[in-house]
Structure 1
Amino acid sequence: MKSKEFLRPDKLLFKGLQSITGIGHDFYTNQKSEAKAKAELTFIGKKKVEKVDTQLYTYSLENYTEDTKFNDFFKLKELDTSENIWLNFHGLHEVPKIEKIGEIYNLERLVIRQILDTTQRPKIEIDDNYLFLNVKSPIKQENNEVIIEHMSFVMGENYLISFQEEKTDHFTSIRNKITEGVGFIRKRSIDYLLVQMLDSILDHYFITIDEINKQASTLEKEILRRPSEETTLALESMKGMAQIIKKALGPFKEVLLNILNEESGLIRKENVRYFKDLVNTASSAIDEIDSTQNKLESLTNIYFAALSQKMNEIMKVLTTVATIFIPLTFVAGIYGMNFDYMPELNLRYGYFGILGVMFIISIIMVIYFRKKKWI
């Protein structure tokens, strides 16, 4: 088996998983340690659905069948090999089901382990009989938070098995094309279905990046109007998300390039151009996230500039008030010395006269400051 892996799991991956899913680094390392100690296949990740659901689609140009509650995996051996087969999993935590699929399609144990390990980085492995790859896909939740989903694919001569951590709408349009017979999916080989799935995942990257850009625009107005600690935290959270997306997109593109570079009979010549188009799409997504990162970095600079400007305005007001009161304090200090021979103290309107002088001094200073454009 040929195997190539890009960007090994590192601290950034675990930091990203922690910030996006709310699960700490220890959660994954403990699971990995337990799995190694047991020397058996173990699900490494957080259970995101109560029960693993499986859907089976078989299709050809003329017809299709659909089973949204497929459980009898041994029936897979009886399916017509002239038709294309798509088996989709929602949930990965029921290890025996994944093992059973491995037995039916003769998948190596290492492949099963990588399917069950949600901390794996995007990678591809090409065997004589099947192609295995996993990628990361962003998901926008109802509370507007974005999480990263681990997805794996195993593709053979006429079958494609997809593994998703949870129920999402990644492939709704693909299901509709199969059931309604529109588009080219039912007219072409199984590798074209893989193209459509990867393209759908890339679409989610663009949707997520666009969402970050919208939030950044809203945050920019808030920063200019009233910079605060909350805006700083929101900005740093968005920068972290953008960094995680970029770190996932890079290996995603490398996986696509590797599919093109490796000689495999599972990829038909007529579909190679679609994989090339996916590479271009991934490059565009990387350019988009780079632009988003630059924008977020600019917002950081704007935030500190706005904060500094706000502080300057405050200091200007305080300095102006203090400067105006300096001569007034001087006058008050003189007449507060209580010497016996101070003729002004005996004047009937001396008190009001001094107040008038102090008022005039204040007006003159304010006019002078305005003329100098200091206030």
Structure 2
Amino acid sequence: MPRKRVYRSKKKLGQAPGTVVYTGDRLKDELDLVVFEYNKDTCIEKNLKSVEESFNLKHTDTITWLNLNGLNHVKDIEKLGYHFGFHPLVLEDIVNIAQRPKVDEYDDYIFVVLKMLNYTQTQQLESEQISFIIGKNYVISFQEAENDVFDTVRNRLRHAVGRIRQMHADYLLYALIDTVIDHYFGIIETLGDKIEDLESAIFSGEIDKSAGRTIQDLKREVLRVRRTILPIREVINKVEKSHHALIQKQTTTYFKDINDHISQVSENIEIYREMIWSLMEMYMTTINNKMNEIMKVLTIMASIFIPLTFITGVYGMNFHNIPELHYKNGYYVVWVTMAIIVIAMLWYFRRKKWL
């Protein structure tokens, strides 16, 4: 059964700019707030019970990463935004999950929107919007659901792996974005395996009526990944070339590395896009070939029966003056004649390699 398209923009029709309305459908009963406070010597991880507990994180001496799960808790997001001084349009974009990946620079913070992609257990492609706000000594991330790809970053913070605890908040932002981009490689790999498996099935003739639907589903997945990835290049380029005080010059080198990863992912998705079109053409060709084989068999059968029908039609007429009707062995002669015609036609068709 085809999935019904959901028009999320209807939830915001007629609303004033800056109105905070969650446009998604992932509803969490409780708001999850997890904070990491760290420097090169220590790292403290704790769960917050309310958004008010995060208000003192803006002016600490450590670097702070606050991760918020549950965009349906718009009131808490508004409280957090008003305390930190975020623009109402930023709060609106955080909970409007139809946002295109982008970056907006303000005087004392930078707002970044990305998309996280993930395959479910039923191999359905899911997209989740994630937003980042980086300030002088903090990064706040906003997610729809609990599942994310940031466990490696958390472990690096806990165990002081690499240089992450020695750098500023802009490096933390880089680490989080880099993890999202790296996860795209797993998505691309899974997508490539599905395309190659289908290609092998079509080549071997092991296809059924659902193959056409499978190709269309893969085509939609490729386009969805493509729509997610292409705008990210603009985001990374803008951050890399930014002269904002929050982005240090030494960190721009790492964002260049992300740009290389985006280019690699984009090249792969363009290849898979071409492969999908080729699979569709191959599938249609296979269907046409099968139809041609069926038509060839039916045509041969019809060709064989044309002379037989003619003979039986002639001697099936109800005229009295048909000499052959009075032959003693006429019935057997007709059968032998028709058998010879059938054998001769089959021999001719095989000689012409039509059989």
Which residue in the other structure is 2:302 paired with? 322
2:172 pairs with 1:190: no
CA displacement 1:290-330 (0-9 Å, x = unmatched): 11110001111112111211111111111100001111112
Q: 1:42 to 1:363 in 2, by over 3 A?
A: same
Once the two structures are superposed, the pairs formed by residues 1-375 of structure 1 within 5 Å of their partners are 23-25=5-7, 28-33=8-13, 35-36=15-16, 40-77=19-56, 81-224=60-203, 225=205, 228-375=208-355
CA displacement 1:246-294 (0-9 Å, x = unmatched): 1221211101000122201211222211100111111111111111110
Q: 1:189 to 1:70 in 2, by over 3 A?
A: farther
Q: TM-score, normalised by structure 2?
A: 0.92
Of 340-349 and 307-316, more deviation after overlay is shown by 340-349
Whether the 8 Å contact between 2:33 and 2:67 is mirrored in structure 1 is: yes
CA displacement 1:168-198 (0-9 Å, x = unmatched): 1311111122122223222222222211211
Displacement of 1:103: 2.5
Of 335-344 and 253-262, more deviation after overlay is shown by 335-344
Q: TM-score, normalised by structure 1?
A: 0.87
Structure 2 residue runs without a partner (length 5+): none
Q: Percent of aligned pairs with the same residue?
A: 33
Paired amino acid for 1:32:
K
CA displacement 1:142-173 (0-9 Å, x = unmatched): 11101211110001121110111111131111
How many residues align structurally? 353
Distance of 2:181 and 2:58 partners within structure 1: 31
CA displacement 1:14-53 (0-9 Å, x = unmatched): xxxxx98x5512xx2321125339x742222223433321
Q: 1:115 to 1:268 in 2, by over 3 A?
A: same
Which residue in the other structure is 1:5 paired with? none
Of 70-79 and 245-254, more deviation after overlay is shown by 70-79
Displacement of 1:72: 4.9
Displacement of 1:223: 3.7
Of 292-301 and 93-102, more deviation after overlay is shown by 93-102
Distance of 1:231 and 1:308 partners within structure 2: 14
Of 187-196 and 339-348, more deviation after overlay is shown by 339-348
Paired amino acid for 2:124:
E
Distance of 2:192 and 2:57 partners within structure 1: 49
Whether the 8 Å contact between 1:56 and 1:70 is mirrored in structure 2 is: no
Paired amino acid for 1:322:
A
Distance of 1:93 and 1:285 partners within structure 2: 31
Q: 1:23 to 1:361 in 2, by over 3 A?
A: closer
Higher relative contact order (CA 8 A, sep 6+): 1
Displacement of 1:54: 1.3
Q: 1:170 to 1:34 in 2, by over 3 A?
A: farther
Distance of 2:86 and 2:148 partners within structure 1: 27
Paired amino acid for 1:358:
M
Report the 3-state secondary structure (helix = DSSP H, G, I; strand = E; otherwise coil) of the residue aligned with 2:239.
helix
Displacement of 1:137: 1.9
Which residue in the other structure is 1:8 paired with? none
RMSD: 2.2
Which residue in the other structure is 1:9 paired with? none
